[in-house]
Structure 1
Amino acid sequence: MEVSLKDMMAGIEGAVGAAVVDYTSGMALGTLGGGKDLDLNVAAAGNTDVIRAKVRTMEQLGLKSQIEDILLTLDHQYHVIRLLKGRSGNGLFLYLVLDKANANLAMARHQLRRVEEAIEI
Structure 2
Amino acid sequence: MSDMDTALKEMMTIDGAIGAAVVDYESGMALGTLGNSKALDLEVAAAGNTEVVRAKQRTLAQLGLQESIEDILISLSSQYHLIRPMSGAGAQGLFLYLALDRGRANLALARHNLKRIEDELRM
How high is the TM-score relative to the length of structure 1? 0.97
Deviations 1:7-36 (A, max 9, x none): 0001x1000000000000000000000533
Distance across 1 between alignment mates of 2:74 and 2:34: 19
Which sits farther off after the overlay, 74-83 or 57-66? Answer: 57-66
Aligned-residue offset at 1:108: 0.2
Q: Which residue of 2 aligns with 1:98?
A: 100
Counterpart of 1:91, as a letter, is G
How high is the TM-score relative to the length of structure 2? 0.95
Query: CA-atom RMSD, angstroms?
Result: 0.8
CA contact (8 A) 1:19 1:29 kept: yes
Superposition pairs of residues 1-121 of structure 1, within 5 angstroms: 1-10=4-13, 12-121=14-123
Give unmatched runs, 5+ long, in structure 2: none
Aligned-residue offset at 1:89: 1.1
Matched-pair identity in %? 62
Distance across 2 between alignment mates of 1:41 and 1:7: 19
Give unmatched runs, 5+ long, in structure 1: none
SS in 1 for 2:73: strand
CA contact (8 A) 2:21 2:30 kept: yes
